[in-house]
Structure 1
Amino acid sequence: MARRGGRRRERLVHVLARVPLQPPWTVGEFLAWLEEDSGREVELVPWTGSALEPNNRCGLLLGGPTRYVIRYDATRSVRHQRQQIFHEVGHVLCQHPGETFRPTASVLTTGLSLAGIEYMMQRSTFDTPTEAEAELVGTQLAVLSRGPIDLDSRGELHRIAVTFDGS
């Protein structure tokens, strides 16, 4: 058991070492870097309408050769939103394969362009190795982030504030 935890920590350190950004970063800054690093567009799309069933909606990653779509629950706290978003980013950084997905109009895809979507990462529990790894990486990324879920948000003020308050 301790051996598996050691491998997870090594993997976390390896994945995080690839990130050249200075924390704390914003979601927008991180996703801009991810686009550059992966060569794929990253769309951030909150759930809408009937997808907002109480206690039933978390993050979702849809992907294809030219883009990623990250869905998240905008009715949750900003911290919880960042956690959902960075969990999905964790799947990308860890290069987890998704389930083959041939999208049709459904609750999962409401409001999305379906062009180029080939796979999906969706969980029912956190007890699989890929979900545990994405949660570990995503939590670390979320802890190192600040600010609203706003793609135009810049992190300079958050980085300056950290030098004064130490958090």
Structure 2
Amino acid sequence: MPNGPLKLHRRCQAAIDRLELPHALSVEILCRYLAARRQRPLRLHPLPPEAAAAGTCGMWLATDTEDHVFYEQRTALLHQRHIILHEIGHLLFDHRTPLDGDTGWGMLLPDLDMRTVRRLLRRTNYTTEQEQEAELFASLLGTMISEPFRQQPGGVLGRLEAAMGVDSPHGTA
């Protein structure tokens, strides 16, 4: 289909345009904006190491009342941002994957009642139309982000920076 890539680009750009986003945009501002617009929390979480070991680098999980975006934290900040924007693309396009049987996610996310899960999409490849759409959406939206995604380091480094009042380049999520 010769018009496929062009139609995909137009669809993604139209979705971004409909958002009417503020000019000063960060991942954090985008998430707060979408949560307010959709009237449901949008929470960011580092991906559990077990999921990353299984080949997943991002995931969108929708429950009855809120959305959760998981991202691989053991990668560059720019890549983390792209993963989050990709998952937000799935969320905004309302992409669906059937939840058949035991997916094993209950073991990876033990605090989550899997009966409340309505959508669970994980990012592992780009062969489907949904994945290509989310990937292009993330690339286009990424050009509008004015600052990188930042996360406060944990452990000793995070506590040391906080105690010393150091303005970390990692910031907060």
Fold match (TM-score > 0.5): yes
C-alpha deviation, 1:150, in angstroms: 4.8
1:1-167 equivalences in 2 (<5 Å): 1-53=1-53, 56-100=55-99, 105-107=106-108, 109-110=109-110, 112-114=111-113, 116-145=116-145, 146-150=147-151
Q: Is the 8 A contact 2:82 2:142 kept in 1?
A: yes
Give per-residue Cα distances to partners, 1:86-132, cap 9 Å, x unaligned: 0000011112123326776312x25x433632220124421111110
Q: Is the 8 A contact 1:39 1:66 kept in 2?
A: no
Q: How many residues align?
A: 148
C-alpha deviation, 1:20, in angstroms: 1.8
AA at the equivalent of 1:106: M
Q: Which runs of 5+ in 2 are unaligned?
A: 153-173
Q: Is the 8 A contact 1:47 1:72 kept in 2?
A: yes
C-alpha deviation, 1:15, in angstroms: 0.3
AA at the equivalent of 1:61: W
Q: Is the 8 A contact 1:81 1:149 kept in 2?
A: no
Q: Is the 8 A contact 1:64 1:117 kept in 2?
A: yes
**Hey, which bits of structure 1, 4+ residues long, moved more than 4 A?**
101-104
Task: Give the CA RMSD over aligned residues.
Answer: 2.4
Q: Which runs of 5+ in 1 are unaligned?
A: 152-167
Tell me which structure has the larger Cα radius of gyration.
2
CA 1:123–1:50 in structure 2 vs 1: closer, same or farther (change >3 Å)?
closer
Higher relative contact order (CA 8 A, sep 6+): 1
User: Partners of 1:91 and 1:50 in 2: how far apart?
Assistant: 22
User: Partners of 1:58 and 1:86 in 2: how far apart?
Assistant: 12
User: Partners of 1:130 and 1:77 in 2: how far apart?
Assistant: 24
